[in-house]
């Protein structure tokens, strides 16, 4: 089941809301949300629901074992009471580390099996001279998200940061439908207290209206923008060899926009749903394409994933505690892990390596600039209007270059393999310039626009599809670079007539457009 579907909007979520705000007892409300969360996830495939439940059982068993602290002091240990206690604590700690290691290994084994089995199977079949892979597995919805989430939970439990957690609370923590398939990657400290407040809060109509508004914004990002750009991208990648240079550059840009509107729109919808249920989810995007360098970009893009990698990969590797050279190595490893997490293929490894290399270059440059800051203070104090203009121009150029780099590296995401990526680069460089192909621009000729065009007789104008294409592109770029993002709009939201009209208009438009092909793009990463 997807947020942008008739069954979710017209049946699933209204029923969920009625029961949630109609029931009063906390345990019953938690069970109600669990039932709907399992329905949401199991709608994709009952087999994947069993997989999710098995993963939950595995991790909760290890959590309880870690919590109990196996390996208490035995009377067989000789020595004083203090010596026996110290020995017992050491044994207890070592057993906890072993339990943590086995628990995490089980999660990683499950994730690696489903994410990389197809790549291994394809490679094996190629070695044997077979035309088709022996077996291909579909990637379970959201497996990367709920696996990382449970790894973080076990690690936090080991460090004593979780406390008591019932099975009911844990199942809800892992399976809660606003984030189980799309993120954000949440932690126990920010969600368990909210689950324990269920049934104690009253319906806040202002917050509910804000949640509906946020859901409408996310739905419009996904259905009206991401899915429309996606049709053009699919048409382009369906015939890479036939692309002109103009087509290739447009398709690359369209995919950059599709990826952002798809993922950020889905996260906005999830946060809006949580608001309507009286809860809060962490912000996952903060206008990432406005970043002037890659370090700033990674503070704005998929914020919860970066939080996870920093806490559970970068810091355990040593962080910046073991010198500059080791810090750079740890950062590069983090980006390689991020690339491998996103997909099985050398294109994802290359993506991680390119981002890691530029991140390190930027970090080194920033450290050098900070050392020269004292010498620059005099110039700052005597700065002129010209220097201000120069700084503004410099900022714009940095944003443009960062955005260009992101476009190029996202292309690696969309490419099936390095071979196709290389072919696409060839079209970018040597494809020549020509009018955009009709099979790409016709994706923007939406039915609702077609009626307006016919009424106004604009269909008689040559190149009407081109106008729609570049009109869509202009709107998308304005939203990305100049408009307030969903988080900023949420902070200033007021349930007035204007905002309610915008919400209703977007909801109706999106629901009418749901008849088109729509899916969640980012789940496969």
Catalytic residues: 342
CA 182/CA 185 separation, integer angstroms: 9
CA 132/CA 125 separation, integer angstroms: 7
| Of 525, 519, 522, the residue nearest 1 (C-alpha) | 519
In terms of DSSP H, where are the helices of 277-315? 294-300, 303-309
- Token pair 């020509």 is found at 434
The helix (run of H) or strand (run of E) holding residue 343 is: none
3-state secondary structure (DSSP) of residue 236: helix
* Residues 62 and 98 sit within 8 Å (Cβ to Cβ): no
Class of residue 47 by CB neighbours under 10 A (exposed 0-12, middle 13-18, buried 19+): exposed
3-state per-residue secondary structure call for 141-170? CCHHHHHHHHHHHHHHHHCCCCCCCCHHHH
DSSP string computed for 384-409: -HHHHHHHHHHHHHHHHHHHHHHHHH
- Token pair 């750079």 is found at 328
* Residues 436 and 246 sit within 8 Å (Cβ to Cβ): yes
CA 472/CA 235 separation, integer angstroms: 17
CA 309/CA 313 separation, integer angstroms: 5
CA torsion sign, 493 to 494 to 498 to 501? positive
Structure tokens at 460: 């008689």
* Residues 332 and 320 sit within 8 Å (Cβ to Cβ): no
């Amino acid at each position: 089941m997807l947020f942008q579907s008739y069954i979710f909007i017209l049946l699933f979520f209204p029923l969920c809301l009625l029961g949630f705000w109609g029931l009063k007892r906390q345990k019953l409300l938690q069970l109600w949300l669990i039932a709907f969360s399992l329905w949401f996830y199991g709608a994709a495939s009952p087999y994947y629901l069993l997989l999710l439940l098995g993963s939950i059982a595995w991790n909760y068993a290890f959590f309880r074992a870690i919590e109990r602290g196996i390996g208490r002091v035995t009377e067989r240990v000789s020595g004083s009471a203090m010596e026996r206690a110290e020995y017992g604590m050491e044994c207890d700690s070592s057993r906890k580390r072993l339990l943590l290691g086995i628990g995490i290994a089980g999660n990683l084994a499950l994730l690696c099996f489903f994410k990389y089995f197809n790549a291994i199977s394809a490679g094996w079949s190629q070695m044997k001279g077979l035309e088709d892979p022996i077996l291909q597995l579909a990637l379970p919805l959201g497996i990367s998200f709920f696996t990382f989430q449970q790894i973080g939970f076990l690690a936090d439990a080991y460090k004593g940061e979780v406390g008591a957690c019932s099975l009911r609370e844990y199942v809800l923590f892992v399976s809660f439908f606003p984030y189980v398939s799309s993120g954000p990657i949440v932690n126990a400290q920010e969600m368990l207290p909210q689950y324990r407040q269920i049934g104690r809060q009253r319906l806040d109509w202002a917050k509910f209206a804000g949640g509906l508004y946020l859901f409408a914004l996310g739905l419009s990002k996904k259905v009206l923008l991401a899915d429309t750009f996606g049709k053009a991208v699919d048409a382009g990648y369906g015939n890479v060899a036939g692309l002109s240079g103009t087509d290739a550059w447009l398709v690359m840009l369209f995919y950059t926009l599709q990826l952002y509107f798809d993922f950020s729109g889905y996260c906005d919808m999830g946060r809006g749903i949580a608001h309507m249920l009286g809860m809060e989810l962490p912000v996952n995007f903060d206008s990432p394409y406005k970043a002037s360098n890659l370090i700033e970009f990674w503070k704005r893009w998929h914020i919860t994933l970066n939080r996870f990698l920093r806490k559970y990969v970068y810091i355990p590797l040593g962080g910046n505690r073991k010198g500059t050279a080791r810090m750079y190595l740890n950062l590069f490893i983090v980006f390689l892990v991020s690339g491998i997490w996103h997909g099985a293929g050398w294109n994802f490894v290359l993506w991680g390596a390119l981002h890691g290399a530029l991140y390190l270059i930027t970090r080194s440059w920033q450290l050098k600039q900070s050392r020269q800051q004292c010498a620059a203070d005099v110039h700052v104090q005597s700065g002129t209007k010209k220097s201000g203009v120069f700084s503004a121009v410099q900022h714009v150029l940095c944003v443009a270059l960062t955005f260009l780099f992101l476009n190029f590296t996202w292309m690696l995401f969309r490419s099936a393999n390095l071979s196709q990526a290389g072919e696409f680069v060839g079209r970018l460089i040597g494809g020549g310039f020509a009018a955009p192909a009709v099979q790409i621009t016709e994706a923007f000729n939406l039915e609702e626009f077609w009626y307006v065009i016919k009424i106004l007789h604009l269909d008689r104008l040559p190149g009407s599809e081109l106008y729609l294409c570049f009109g869509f592109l202009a709107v998308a770029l304005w939203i990305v670079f100049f408009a307030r993002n969903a988080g900023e709009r949420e902070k200033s939201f007021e349930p007035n007539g204007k905002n309610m009209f915008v919400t209703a208009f977007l909801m109706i438009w999106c629901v009418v457009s749901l008849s088109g092909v729509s899916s969640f793009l980012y789940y496969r990463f």
